């Protein structure tokens, strides 16, 4: 069995800034809002990586806090361990890098389509939640002519969208939906009303306004309700060595 240090790693840095017009030079944030948000990013990224790369792929989210003018900024580094190097080298099972995981979630924009859109299957996880606005889904149908993407239809105009199977499954994952809710928890508190995500070069990749966050939160609540999943303690598997 490969040792931990032999596992190939994919790394991607990004930052999240909570901001608002009334923040002025106040660089503080209530720990009761910050702590759940930090934990939420870790949970969301782990759930997404498991969906895209399988349970054998490990995930580590590192964070270093930073303070900037008129906002509270957090620097993250996502580290994805690709358990079987052959999959990465040969392209088997479409292994996704840390950057691609962030693009599929909707925290970074993909190179093939702007606005958080995932070209191969429609829109990203967060963009789907924003688009749905908590509305009822009337039909979900797998389209075999589009590499198994799922066509989701809701009531109203412009009422259909395509999702990759992984993003569709993530949208049904109550743990991922709860984590998404908590990631936006500081907004609406203490003058924070906007969340910006920047790439490792410092360029803004995504910005979420109060209206967009309201739509995302409504879809999270609806999805959690639909899942009917019992809120059980989260159990994380970690490797261990036993010597006798």
What mean pLDDT comes out for the span 73-98?
69
CA distances from 94 to 53, 86, 87, 88, 89 (A): 8, 11, 8, 8, 10
The mean pLDDT value of the chain amounts to: 80
Distance of CA 195 to the CA centre of its chain: 14
Highest mean pLDDT among 31-35, 38-42, 71-75, 86-90: 38-42
The 10s digit of each residue's pLDDT in 39-50 is: 999 999 999 999
Q: In angstroms, rounded to a whole number, what is the distance separating the alpha carbons of residues 162 and 140? A: 10
pLDDT the model gives residue 46: 94
The 10s digit of each residue's pLDDT in 148-181 is: 789 999 987 768 888 989 999 999 999 999 999 9
Q: Where does the pLDDT of residue 224 fall: very low under 50, low under 70, confident under 90, or very high at 90 and above? A: very high
pLDDT the model gives residue 89: 53
pTM: 0.81
pLDDT the model gives residue 81: 76
Q: Where does the pLDDT of residue 115 fall: very low under 50, low under 70, confident under 90, or very high at 90 and above? A: very low
On whether the CB atoms of residues 23 and 71 are closer than 8 A, the answer is yes
pLDDT the model gives residue 53: 84
CA distances from 228 to 48, 70, 153, 181, 217 (A): 20, 40, 21, 17, 17
Q: In angstroms, rounded to a whole number, what is the distance separating the alpha carbons of residues 127 and 89? A: 30
pLDDT the model gives residue 178: 97
Q: Where does the pLDDT of residue 238 fall: very low under 50, low under 70, confident under 90, or very high at 90 and above? A: very low
| Tokens describing residue 17 | 């800034």
């Amino acid at each position: 069995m490969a040792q931990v240090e032999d596992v190939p790693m994919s790394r991607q840095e990004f930052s999240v800034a909570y901001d608002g017009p009334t923040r002025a030079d106040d660089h503080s944030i209530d720990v009761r809002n910050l702590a759940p948000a930090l934990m939420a990013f870790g949970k969301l990224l782990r759930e997404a990586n498991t969906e895209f790369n399988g349970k054998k792929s490990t995930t580590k989210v590192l964070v270093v806090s930073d303070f900037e003018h008129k906002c509270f900024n957090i620097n993250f580094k996502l580290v994805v361990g690709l358990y079987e190097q052959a999959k990465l080298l040969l392209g088997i099972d479409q292994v996704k890098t840390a950057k691609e995981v962030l693009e599929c979630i909707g925290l970074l924009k993909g190179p093939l389509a702007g606005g958080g859109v995932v070209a191969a299957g429609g829109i990203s996880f967060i963009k789907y939640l924003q688009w749905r606005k908590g509305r009822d889904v009337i039909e979900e149908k797998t389209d075999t002519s589009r590499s198994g993407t799922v066509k989701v239809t809701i009531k109203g105009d412009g009422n259909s969208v395509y999702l990759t199977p992984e993003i569709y499954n993530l949208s049904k994952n109550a743990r991922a939906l709860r984590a998404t809710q908590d990631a936006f928890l500081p907004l609406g508190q203490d003058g924070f009303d906007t969340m910006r995500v920047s790439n490792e070069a410092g360029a803004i990749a995504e910005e979420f306004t109060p209206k967009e966050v309201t739509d995302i939160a409504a879809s999270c609540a609806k999805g959690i309700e639909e899942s009917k999943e019992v809120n059980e303690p989260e159990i994380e598997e970690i490797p261990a060595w036993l010597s006798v």
